[in-house]
Structure 1
Amino acid sequence: MKPLVAIVGRPNVGKSTLFNRLVGKRLALVEDMPGVTRDRHYADAQWEGRTFTFIDTGGFVPGEEDTLLQQVREQAQLAVEECDVTIFVVDAREGLTPADEAVAKYLRKSGKPVVVAANKLDNTSGTMQALAAEFYKFGLGEVQAMSAEHGLGVSGLFDEVVAKLPPKEEDEDAEAPPDDGIVRVAIIGRPNVGKSTLVNAILKEKRVVASEVPGTTRDPVDSPLTYKDQKLILTDTAGIRRKKTIAHRVEQYSVISALKTMERSDVAVLLMDATEPAVDQDAKLAGLAEERGRALVIVINKWDLIGVDQRRQETYRESLKYALKFVGYAPILFTSALTGSKVEKVVDVAVELAKQFRFRAPTPQLNRLLEHMVDNHPAPIVRGKPLRLYYITQVAAAPPTFALTCNHPDGVPDMYKRYITNQLRKTFDLRVPIRLVFRERPGQAKRAARKKPHLQGKH
């Protein structure tokens, strides 16, 4: 599991701007008004040979009684509990505030390593450095003067974060779980959708505590299983990794826990409640499985409470595919963990998806397919020239990743990428995430450079 770094602070100090700067993408919504970020965002970044996951949190408003603000604060506190290092962002132009003091007090109690980021400084020398100095009063160690908006001081912040991370583990950067023949399946979902009941039904024993009280599962539970000569490990994801403070008291469901479990799995089983329509949390979990490149099977539990009408099932399937169209390739199953109906089908599909997850395509077949794709749907014009796709090869599995050599690797339209992905799915019957990488031909830059003097001589 990659180390986790939480970005916290009171509202409107620039946490989301810093998050976007650190991960190198505009992922978090940024507005010059407090409270825009209400949930957590997650993204990976690399620095000095370390890869870690940043968590952007909502504004930390200590002591507020408003229900929404309280939930935002609890999300931030949970992120601190689960992370390895915390970046505490303050507004250096506005100076130290009572709200900053309250956040600092909480962070001191947490016992986690903290880096203080004195943000909104347009340069990091002279008077600006002096503006950051007052935040040493927190007693949280070094203060990094910086400007997230302009990128000033970011490298120093990265250095400080890396210095405070725990020692690197051997498998920390591994994107895919080990290929040892064991299929690792993560059971994920909101509280009280029946995750533990499903695991027990598959194992045919009461291996994990199942209760109607949301949040009964606190720690991830690994359950080995041999099914039709195939070894599996089922992991019933925890609401929370550690039983303490905010985590124990409030949050029965944690995206962090699901994220950690997914990173060591081949297949994620997203369990949903048939009696409730798809909600934002379901979509977020499905999105995390796609982002992490994990095979996904969507399982609608408690179908016995709805009925067995086939037309109703198909209507439900179509509406769900529309709601979660970004993972439209994922199989959808209808089960009842309580009665045991169709639970074996979940394992069958998970095993099949695990094979697809590690699928390898023969290069000659791939290039025949590429030729067929270009003939049937010619590549578009990019920057005034036809996009030329020369050849394709598979460069990785888990998930299947294909590299296409072309003349404009940065200009391939999203629509054409989707066309290529869909053709790969159809040809190889893949219902797992697919990654595409576009590269220029070896020596293309040199050839272009040689042409320039020749062209200049013509004028």
Structure 2
Amino acid sequence: MPVVAIVGRPNVGKSTLFNRIIGKRVAIVEDLPGVTRDRNYFEAEHGGRRFLLVDTGGFEPDTPDRLIQQVRDQAQLAIDEAQAVLLVVDGHEGPTGVDVDIASMVRRSGKPLFLAVNKIDSFKREEEGFLSEFHRFGIDRILPVSAEHGRGTEDLLDAVMTALPPAPEPEPVPEALDEEATEEVVEDLAARPIRLAIIGRPNVGKSTLVNQLIGEERFVTSPIAGTTRDPVDAELEHKGRHFILTDTAGIRRKRSIAMRVEAYSVVRALKAAEASDVVVMLLDATEMAVEQDLKIASLAVEQGKPVIVVVNKWDLVAGDAKKAQTFRDDLVWKMPFLAFAPSIFVSALTGAHVKGVLDRAVRLFDQASSRVPTPKLNRLLEDISNHHGLPVVGGQRARVYYIAQVGIRPPTFVVQTNRPDLVPPEYRRYVANKLREVFELEVPLRLVFKRKASLRPPPKRVKEKAAGRTRPRR
């Protein structure tokens, strides 16, 4: 797909225009400069033409601030990979020296450039000559828009589409699928991308880890906590598998969230975890796991997501195998609900062991997507019943008859019994742990004890028919 980049100085409405074009609130919008920092990609469509829209951070050409310099570099990368560039300026303020500098830089790239004069909310403002002063930029295509209200965006996109390369011819769709073609479709579905969400407290190295995995400075990094605000995706291939990595904002306690924009970031991070296939729970090796780590991990497990516990900055503690085991033991003690999850000790800064994160992600995704044969499940259930029978509760004992897997991601198992209410939580945990042990599952699973169908009370209508009181049909 062709790429269209949105650039401009801070707080001119770039993210608002980005959200308006794609029709969703993906980029965080706040009346503060510098909210967007990383490149944010999203697929968009106009007039039947699909393209990739890129939102960038506020561009400030000359500044000694290291963080702002990185934001500027991200914007430059977006321009380099784009087929068309939208320069957004503030129609209320008029042209500024920074606007002129950005326009000159884009022109040097040779990319088609469109000037979107934002915050022109009515024809009256346009007629008052707000656009005439922007002609000194030397840009032919100047279009008034109101990103907030949607005015002028259709005309803007019509103009941009004319600058994009011709769309490729669509591939012919077969009228029918034979047996061989059907098998190919199934294989394609099985090889779909694995969505990996990187979550954790602020400043544990999430963006540095993603940059190391993909092999480029894709995300802005800084010792300042809270640098990442939007969840942003990046794609990569590893050993024949396709990954989509989502770098998320650091999740803090509610009382630590001082700015509204950071509160939005936390919500987006949690949603990114919910939409993922595997969650990477990133911890800092220089600090033992704290209460907030426990809360973040519990949210992922409650959603049934496989979790990889990644301990970053291991190079700073000169960790050996003994220290690693001590760290693991502490994690299990604090987070027993994650005892089954694999852990790995890495250095995102040096790259040590980071590729192992992807190997474990593949393993967990395949486990969560697999099905256990029913005969194997019932042999295990029989062995459990013979060696660890259900306890007597209130003078009665439940009996188990049959087990089957009914779902994947997470693996879901249903056990038929005569009295689900007599199965205590301890026994449910025991069966779940046995399933993990025997079938080598390192992922959350759901186990449901359900009353056997033949033992359920008949429906009311069946009772009435048996008693000869069936009501006449209308």
Q: TM-score, normalised by structure 1?
A: 0.56
**Secondary structure, counterpart of 2:453 in structure 1:** coil
Is 1:314 aligned to 2:332, yes or no?
A: no
Alpha-carbon offset, residue 380 of structure 1: 1.5
CA deviation vs aligned residue, 1:180-199 (integer Å, no higher than 9, x gap): 62111000001000000000
Of the three residues 308, 311, 316, the one matched with 1:300 is: 311
CA deviation vs aligned residue, 1:91-130 (integer Å, no higher than 9, x gap): xxxxxxxxxxxxxxxxxxxxxxxxxxxxxxxxxxxxxxxx
Structure 1 residues 406 and 448: alpha-carbon distance in aligned structure 2, compared to 1, 3 A threshold: farther
Alignment correspondent of 1:279:
290
Alignment correspondent of 1:371:
382
Structure 1 residues 189 and 294: alpha-carbon distance in aligned structure 2, compared to 1, 3 A threshold: same
Once residues 310 and 265 of structure 2 are traced to their aligned partners in structure 1, the CA distance between those partners, rounded to angstroms, is: 19
Alignment correspondent of 1:192:
203
Once residues 379 and 448 of structure 1 are traced to their aligned partners in structure 2, the CA distance between those partners, rounded to angstroms, is: 29
**Secondary structure, counterpart of 1:391 in structure 2:** strand
Of the three residues 414, 417, 427, the one matched with 1:416 is: 427
Of the three residues 325, 329, 335, the one matched with 2:336 is: 325
Once residues 280 and 247 of structure 2 are traced to their aligned partners in structure 1, the CA distance between those partners, rounded to angstroms, is: 10
Structure 1 residues 249 and 392: alpha-carbon distance in aligned structure 2, compared to 1, 3 A threshold: closer
Alignment correspondent of 2:276:
265
Structure 1 residues 191 and 253: alpha-carbon distance in aligned structure 2, compared to 1, 3 A threshold: farther
Alignment correspondent of 2:448:
437
Q: TM-score, normalised by structure 2?
A: 0.54
Once residues 219 and 263 of structure 2 are traced to their aligned partners in structure 1, the CA distance between those partners, rounded to angstroms, is: 16
Alignment correspondent of 1:100:
none
Once residues 273 and 236 of structure 2 are traced to their aligned partners in structure 1, the CA distance between those partners, rounded to angstroms, is: 18
Counterpart residue type for residue 346 of structure 2: T
Of the three residues 201, 205, 212, the one matched with 2:223 is: 212
1:99-118, aligned counterparts within 5 Å?
A: none
**Secondary structure, counterpart of 2:421 in structure 1:** coil
Once residues 227 and 445 of structure 1 are traced to their aligned partners in structure 2, the CA distance between those partners, rounded to angstroms, is: 50
1:191/1:252 contact within 8 Å kept? no
Alignment correspondent of 1:117:
none
2:307/2:443 contact within 8 Å kept? yes
1:358/1:400 contact within 8 Å kept? yes
Alpha-carbon offset, residue 300 of structure 1: 0.6
Is 1:390 aligned to 2:405, yes or no?
A: no
CA deviation vs aligned residue, 1:183-224 (integer Å, no higher than 9, x gap): 110000010000000000111111111111111111111111
1:191/1:253 contact within 8 Å kept? no
Once residues 367 and 266 of structure 2 are traced to their aligned partners in structure 1, the CA distance between those partners, rounded to angstroms, is: 26
Alignment correspondent of 1:85:
none
Instruction: Say how many residue pairs are matched.
Output: 269
Alpha-carbon offset, residue 412 of structure 1: 1.1
Is 1:362 aligned to 2:369, yes or no?
A: no
1:379/1:386 contact within 8 Å kept? yes
Counterpart residue type for residue 229 of structure 1: G
Alignment correspondent of 1:337:
348
1:99-248, aligned counterparts within 5 Å?
A: 181-239=192-250, 248=259
Counterpart residue type for residue 429 of structure 2: R
1:200/1:206 contact within 8 Å kept? yes
2:202/2:249 contact within 8 Å kept? no
**Secondary structure, counterpart of 2:304 in structure 1:** coil
Counterpart residue type for residue 356 of structure 1: Q
**Secondary structure, counterpart of 1:403 in structure 2:** strand
Of the three residues 413, 417, 422, the one matched with 1:406 is: 417
Alpha-carbon offset, residue 258 of structure 1: 2.8
Once residues 438 and 351 of structure 1 are traced to their aligned partners in structure 2, the CA distance between those partners, rounded to angstroms, is: 30
User: Greater Rg, structure 1 or structure 2?
Assistant: 2
Counterpart residue type for residue 211 of structure 1: S
Once residues 260 and 358 of structure 1 are traced to their aligned partners in structure 2, the CA distance between those partners, rounded to angstroms, is: 21
Alignment correspondent of 1:288:
299
Alpha-carbon offset, residue 239 of structure 1: 4.8
Once residues 351 and 457 of structure 2 are traced to their aligned partners in structure 1, the CA distance between those partners, rounded to angstroms, is: 63
2:283/2:312 contact within 8 Å kept? yes
Alpha-carbon offset, residue 367 of structure 1: 0.6
Alpha-carbon offset, residue 430 of structure 1: 0.2
2:198/2:206 contact within 8 Å kept? yes
Alpha-carbon offset, residue 381 of structure 1: 1.7
Once residues 281 and 368 of structure 1 are traced to their aligned partners in structure 2, the CA distance between those partners, rounded to angstroms, is: 41
Counterpart residue type for residue 300 of structure 1: V
Identity level (%): 51
Counterpart residue type for residue 379 of structure 1: L
2:207/2:247 contact within 8 Å kept? yes
Once residues 356 and 328 of structure 1 are traced to their aligned partners in structure 2, the CA distance between those partners, rounded to angstroms, is: 16
Alpha-carbon offset, residue 238 of structure 1: 2.9
Once residues 298 and 254 of structure 1 are traced to their aligned partners in structure 2, the CA distance between those partners, rounded to angstroms, is: 22
Once residues 304 and 266 of structure 2 are traced to their aligned partners in structure 1, the CA distance between those partners, rounded to angstroms, is: 16
Counterpart residue type for residue 418 of structure 1: R
**Secondary structure, counterpart of 1:410 in structure 2:** helix
Once residues 315 and 229 of structure 2 are traced to their aligned partners in structure 1, the CA distance between those partners, rounded to angstroms, is: 27
Counterpart residue type for residue 369 of structure 2: R
Is there any run of 5+ residues in structure 1 with no aligned partner, and where?
Answer: 1-177, 241-245, 451-459
